[in-house]
Amino acid sequence: MLPDLGEITSDESYADRRNDLGFWEPWVRRGLDSLGFPQPGELRSPGESTNPVFIGDNGLVVKLYGEFWCGPSSLECEAAAYRVLAGHELPVPALLGRGELRPDATGWSWPFLVLSVAEGRPWQRATAEMDRAAELALACRVGELLGRLRRIPLTGSEVLHPAAFADLLRERAAATAADHREWKHLSPGLVDAIDDFLPEAAELLGGSPEFVHGDLHAGNLFVDPERGEVTGLIDFNDVHAGDFRYGLVQLHLSTFRADRELLAAALRGADWPVAPTFPQEMLAFTFLHDFDVFERTPLDLTGVTDLTELAELLWGVDR
């Protein structure tokens, strides 16, 4: 008998089950059968993730979308991203199929995607064994990939719309000071200065909207250290028709762990001109990011008392 999906009725019950391989495996196998895919010998969970994700030993990945934890919007974003990225020869998984675990249900149908597995190893595992020169070279390759992404045409996508990104920035501007008071990464005086520091969204944005991956943490970026190549970029739940600089925030503060040499290498790879105003602009995008991006940053920022000092500490790179 299949496990009862009806017991997932809230954010809390979803959180308890989302990475439970024993609960999901029978459903994943049924979903693969429904689309005619071969069954893997074994399934595994890659670890903690927002969505239930399971990887088969035959190279198939199944990603499920619940009605909680922003599941419906995540599915829309991810499906739109794969449509936009298709045919551009980028190191992203192939979208192989789309189905529903309960297509005839009166409630949530539990949609899912079947994807190809990403090659290589996640950034944090691969770079732990690399020398400095090789790590900097890989950071440059990451920048090259981001440069290619920002040139992808966004025509034909209703989900990736620039108005939605501007709305996100305005929502974050209204909430960010309160959030930082709760997160306590910064001194109270610094948090009090955030509202006056932040520019209007229209003032911060410029140029045409670009494809932006908003969650470039170390588990979403795959590399092959032997070949010195970026081999995979996954998880398109948080993509935007937005500004290139927004995508740098999670990459630098989480994946690069605020290492400004790695950031400089990525900017060179992306051919991004670093203006004198870059640190201030990036601090604004840092405050406007949708996540607690200081959570994984290995810096004690509580003693910083000036926003200009904070901007240079985090985002000051050689020009």
Active-site residue flag, 192: no
CA-CA distances (angstroms) from residue 214 to 35, 77, 95, 107, 267? 30, 11, 20, 30, 17
Instruction: Provide the H-helix boundaries in the chain.
Output: 11-17, 21-34, 71-85, 123-127, 132-150, 162-183, 188-192, 194-197, 201-204, 244-250, 260-270, 278-288, 307-315
Distance CA 308, CA 299 (A): 16
Catalytic residue among 57, 215, 235, 243: 215
Cβ–Cβ < 8 Å for 172, 289: yes
Task: Please tell me the distance from the alpha carbon of residue 160 to that of residue 216, in angstroms, as a whole number.
Answer: 18
The tally of CA atoms less than 13 A away on the side-chain side of residue 259 is: 12
- List the end-to-end C-alpha distance of the chain, in Å, as a whole number: 62
Among 262, 255, 259, residue whose Cα is nearest residue 293: 255
Residues involved in catalysis: 215
